[in-house]
């Protein structure tokens, strides 16, 4: 009986952030919707993040410079 009591006291509950829980839930939903494995869902998410970062870099390159010079003054 003592062994059980010691083991129960040794287990500590883990704190999980709500954002982490939301992310895991979203991954599970995507896996169900697309009939995909969790690894495939992770690849999908990473691909979208890469697309987003590439698009932001492209848009930043298209912006006009903050200042420019027409000629020597």
pLDDT value for 66: 65
Note whether residue 52 is domain-resident.
yes
**How far is Cα 9 from Cα 66, in angstroms, rounded to an integer?**
62
Note whether residue 51 is domain-resident.
yes
C-alpha distance across the termini of the chain, in Å: 91
**Tokens matching residue 4:** 């059980």
Note whether residue 8 is domain-resident.
no
Q: Which domain holds residue 31?
A: 18-60
Q: What are phi and psi of 12, to 5 degrees?
A: -110, 135
Name the domain count of the chain.
1
Note whether residue 7 is domain-resident.
no
Note whether residue 67 is domain-resident.
no
Summarised one tens digit per residue, pLDDT across range 15-28 is 878 999 999 999 99
Q: pTM score, two decimals?
A: 0.52
Give the count of beta carbons closer than 10 Å to the beta carbon of residue 36: 15
**Tokens matching residue 10:** 């040794």
Note whether residue 49 is domain-resident.
yes
């Amino acid at each position: 009986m003592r062994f059980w009591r010691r083991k129960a006291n040794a287990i500590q509950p883990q704190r999980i952030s709500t954002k982490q829980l939301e992310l895991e839930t979203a991954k599970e939903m995507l896996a169900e919707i697309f009939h995909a494995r969790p690894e495939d869902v992770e690849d999908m998410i990473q691909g979208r993040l890469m697309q987003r970062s590439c698009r932001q870099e492209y848009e930043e390159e298209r912006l006009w410079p903050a200042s420019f010079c027409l000629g020597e003054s």
